Amino acid sequence: MIKRLNFLGTPSRDKLNLFISIGAFLFVLGIADVILNSFFEINITSVLPRWLNFFTPLIFSFIGLYYIRIEFSGNRILDNLNKNINSNWFNAVLSLLIIFVLIQNIPPLLNWLFFDANFVGETKEECTGSGACWIFVKIWFPRFIYGLYPNAEIWRINLSFLMLIGLVTTGFFVPLKIKKYIIIFLLFVFPFIAINLISGGNFGLEWVETTAWGGLSLTFIISIFALLFCFPVGMFLALGRRSSAPVIRYSSIGFIEFWRGVPLITVLFMASVMMPMFLPDGTYMDKLVRVIIAITLFEAAYMAEVIRGGLQALPRGQYDAGKSLGMGYWRMHLLVILPQALKLVIPGIANTFLALVKDTPLILVVGLLELVGMIDMAKSNPDWLGFATEGYIFAGVVFWIICFNMSRYSQRLERKYKTDR
């Protein structure tokens, strides 16, 4: 078919305006046919046979892309189009199929999400439309965020997270000398302030059991503490696995392979049920603390392998350079080796952090209700049966926002510390 299109000649820069005009017209005609058919149920090619009518938009658009496939045309928009979706016939067809599928599915999706959805009301009886019932999310929103935490004490959670956001934001704008003190405060002081503030029992604050903690706030609490602890543990395990001392090396290997070989659900179950059996008589460890310890050890094993990859990527000359300066083992690794190794594996570290955040819904098996757990509880409420889809979409959007921002921040770090290597 392509050979028969050459009655105008092969697309080239000599007839740039002619080919762009014809190609753009045919491409827009094909896309317009699909849009009119999907949004307004208007078929501009209804005069054609039915079997051909289905493929007409694809044929028009494909011919249009063929006519504008001009290499190095000098037009930036056209060159980017040809480079990304129109480099050859296969990419053109695949791109058109994806565009058509999206156009066909966007109208019903938008209708369900927004146009036919219900946003105002207090009960499920007010969800009269054929679309989503966002009243469910609105009514349960405080529980999705704070769990079963007492309403009168929610300000303590808000204050803790506002302090965290304020400290982190301040760290981006202050000089390096002050930034060091902020990091030390965040790592060693702020966790104790936040835990005492949220749990209470001191300074006249009402004690709140960890079983009442839940929702998105519990997701953040577990993620933040696990991130803080799994990174240094994983770093030491990576160094131990590369150690020349057999006892340290094999102990690190055994630890890493054990935790990598056990599912996280099993780890959480052991932390909830088995760990208290190994504690001395009269010793009590809160379930939330046990869960954080279990997730930290589990993720530290994966973090160790990521960091070990960065250590192996460094040439031997870096170690020799550190030794030639008279540095000892720890000084050499802290000042020479680890900064370069960690810089090489920023994507892997970010990937481990993202996996940790998305693993938090598994704590439901030990009776802790984070965001997804609270949605599961809400959907089983007799007054709100049948609205689980809206809740899960809300959770998916929240997790996507968290993971997207973490991913963007890791890309920023990659660009910041990018070298010739």
What integer pLDDT is reported at residue 52 of this predicted model? 66
- SS3 (DSSP) at 133: strand
Give the pLDDT of residue 10: 63
153 phi and psi angles, rounded to 5 deg: -110, 5
7 in a structural domain: yes
* Cβ pair 306, 345 in contact under 8 A: yes
371/267 same-domain check: yes
Task: Return d(Cα 192, Cα 231) in angstroms, integer.
Answer: 19
- State the pLDDT at residue 51: 62
Q: Looking at residue 1, what is its pLDDT?
A: 46
Residues 87 and 139 in one domain: no
- Amino acid identity, residue 382? P
Q: What is the pLDDT of residues 173-196, one digit of tens each?
A: 888 888 888 988 888 888 889 989
Q: 263 in a domain, yes or no?
A: yes
Q: Are residues 39 and 90 in the same domain?
A: yes
Percent helix, strand, coil in the chain, to 5, is 75, 0, 25
| Other C-beta atoms lying within 10 Å of the C-beta of residue 391 | 22
Let me know if residue 360 belongs to a domain: yes
Residues 227 and 105 reside in one and the same domain: no
Residues 272 and 303 in one domain: yes
| Burial of 420 (C-beta count, 10 Å sphere; 0-12/13-18/19+) | exposed
Examine the domain organization and report whether 261 and 394 are in the same domain: yes
- Tell me: the pLDDT tens digits for 97-118? 888 888 888 888 888 998 888 8
- DSSP class per residue in 45-76: TTTS-HHHHTTHHHHHHHHHHHHT--TT-S-H
**Which residue carries 């030794």 as its tokens?**
323
CA-based Rg of the chain, rounded to a whole angstrom? 29
CB atoms within 10 A of CB 90: 8
Domain-embedded: residue 62: yes
Residue 75 lies in a domain: yes
Over residues 138-148, the mean pLDDT reads 93
pLDDT of residue 279: 80
Which residue is associated with the tokens 């709100």?
A: 384
Domain presence at residue 160: no
Evaluate whether 322 touches 337 at the Cβ level (below 8 Å): yes
Instruction: For residues 26 and 139, state if they share a domain.
Output: no
Do 218 and 200 meet the contact criterion of CB atoms below 8 Å apart?
Answer: no
By C-alpha distance, which of 182, 366, 232 is closest to 288? Answer: 366
**Can you tell me the distance from the alpha carbon of 332 to that of 315, in angstroms, rounded to the nearest whole number?**
14
Please report, for the domain that includes residue 226, its CATH number.
1.10.3720.10
- DSSP symbols for 281-309: TT----HHHHHHHHHHHHHHHHHHHHHHH
Which tokens in the block code for residue 399? 């997790």
How far apart, in whole angstroms, are the C-alpha atoms of residue 93 and residue 113? 30
First-to-last CA distance in the chain? 48
pLDDT value for 299: 93
Q: Are residues 349 and 272 in the same domain?
A: yes
Average pLDDT (237-250) is: 92
Same domain, 145 and 107: no
Q: Is the pLDDT of residue 7 over 50?
A: no
How much is the average pLDDT of 297-303? 94
Question: Both tokens of residue 295?
Answer: 């997730």
Give residue-wise pLDDT tens across range 312-360.
988 888 888 888 888 888 899 888 889 889 998 998 999 999 999 999 9
pLDDT at residue 420, rounded to an integer:
54
Domain presence at residue 323: yes
pLDDT tier for residue 9 given thresholds of 50, 70 and 90? low
pLDDT value for 2: 47
**Is the confidence at residue 293, as pLDDT, over 60?**
yes
Domain that holds residue 81: 3-115
Work out the mean pLDDT of the chain and round it to a whole number.
Answer: 85
Task: Give yes or no for residue 71 having a pLDDT over 70.
Answer: no
pLDDT surpasses 70 at 50: no
Alpha-carbon 189 to chain mean position: 28
Q: Are residues 263 and 369 in the same domain?
A: yes
Lowest-pLDDT choice from 26-30, 302-306, 376-380: 26-30
Q: Label residue 297 by pLDDT band (50, 70, 90).
A: very high
Nearest to 220 by CA among 345, 406, 411: 406
Does 357 fall in a domain?
Answer: yes
Q: Do residues 268 and 376 both lie within one domain?
A: yes
Kindly indicate the confidence band of residue 48, based on its pLDDT and cuts at 50, 70 and 90.
low
- Predicted local confidence at residue 183, as pLDDT: 86
CA triple 149-152-154, angle to 5 deg: 50
Question: How does pLDDT run across 200-231, given as a tens digit for each residue?
Answer: 888 888 999 988 999 999 999 999 999 889 99
Q: Do residues 217 and 346 share a domain?
A: yes
| Residue 214, strand partner residues | 369
pLDDT tens digit sequence for 73-83: 667 777 787 78
What is the tally of structural domains in the chain? 2
